[in-house]
Amino acid sequence: MDGPIPGQSLTKTPRNALYERAPEIVEPNDAIVWHMEKLSDPKRLDNLLFTLEYGLPVKHATQAALTIAVAKGIHNLDISLIIAPVIHKFIASTAREAGIDYLDDFKNAGMKEQEEKEKLGLLLDKAISETPVEERDEGYEMLGDFAEVIPDVDTGLDTEGEISPEVQEVAEEVGAKPQRGLMARG
């Protein structure tokens, strides 16, 4: 009884919701650059690195960043699938450069999705609550966004797979070495 009545969607302003609009970025390399720019912003970078040190795995940071971008209509889910390994490698290489000992994924691989999300929520809540007042900037807001999208994050999204050939060249620049599969031979 609480569901929408037939035709209800037609009463809303067309293209009002983000998912009704065409995404801002349709080219995977552009999406990589967009994410790199966002994550390299000094205001966001220190919050991200500190949260990684807290134990937030790179995989989930990647998934959260991609989910936010999709939710905000920056790019679509297909682009997320293509660029996920590159963003993962970018975050991981940044953490390495900063001397942060990070996790690619939780060590307990047999964790249920719900359990995994609860754990992520706790980690992010803790990181947020321990952010000093003077550092509550865009990076702090980014962590808030991460925590908000955790329930919607697809924890099954593979962020460590092979890098798609169409983003290989840009991927080389973010410290990721493109892996050549069987199909790429010849």
Partner 1 sequence: MSFKRLVLAGSVAKAYNEQVAEKKALASQINAGKREYLFKAGMQKIQTRRESLKASRERIAKAKTFGFSTKSARALEMSGQLEFEVEKVETLLNNGKLSENYVKILSASLEDKVDGDEALAAAVSKGLQGDSFKTEEEMSLGLINSMGDLNELQEQFLKTTESSGRTRLPAFQYSSTKGPRIELSDRRSIQAQLASSLSTMYDTSFSINNVGDVVFNQDASPDVQILFNNLTEKTVNLAEDPTNSFSPVSALSTVISSIENSSSVPATTVLEKIDEAITTPSFNWEPFKVTGPTGSNGGGSNPTTD
Query: Which positions touch partner 1 (CB under 8 A)?
Result: 29-30, 32-33, 36-37, 40, 42, 45-46, 49-50, 53-55, 57, 94, 97-103, 106-108, 119, 122-123, 125-126, 128-133, 135, 169-170, 172-175
Residue nearer to partner 1 on the CB measure, 10 or 133 = 133
Q: Least Å distance between CB 55 and partner 1? A: 5
Record the tokens describing residue 105, joined without a space.
Answer: 């994924």
Q: How many helices (H) and strands (E) would you count in the chain? A: 7, 0
**Separation of alpha carbons 135 and 50, rounded Å:** 12
Nearest-approach distance from CB 77 to partner 1, in angstroms: 21
Distance CA 79, CA 67 (A): 11
70 vs 174, beta carbon nearer partner 1: 174
Q: 167: which 2 tokens?
A: 């983003």
Closest CB to partner 1 among 99 and 186?
99
Nearer to partner 1, 70 or 120 (CB): 120
Reference 172, options 106, 81, 109, 89; nearest CA is 89
**Closest approach of partner 1 to the CB of residue 40, in Å:** 4
Cβ proximity to partner 1, 31 vs 68, nearer residue = 31
Q: How far apart are CA 180 and CA 79, in angstroms?
A: 20
Q: Whole-angstrom Cα distance, residue 3 to residue 147?
A: 28
Structure tokens at 22: 């065409």
Handedness of CA 162, 168, 170, 176 (dihedral sign): positive
Residue where the block lists tokens 């994924």: 105
Provide the minimum distance between the beta carbon of 82 and partner 1 in the complex, in angstroms, as a whole number: 14
As measured in angstroms, the least distance from the Cβ of 9 to partner 1 is 36
> C-beta of 166: minimal distance to partner 1 in Å?
9
Residue closer to partner 1 by CB (options 30, 160) is 30
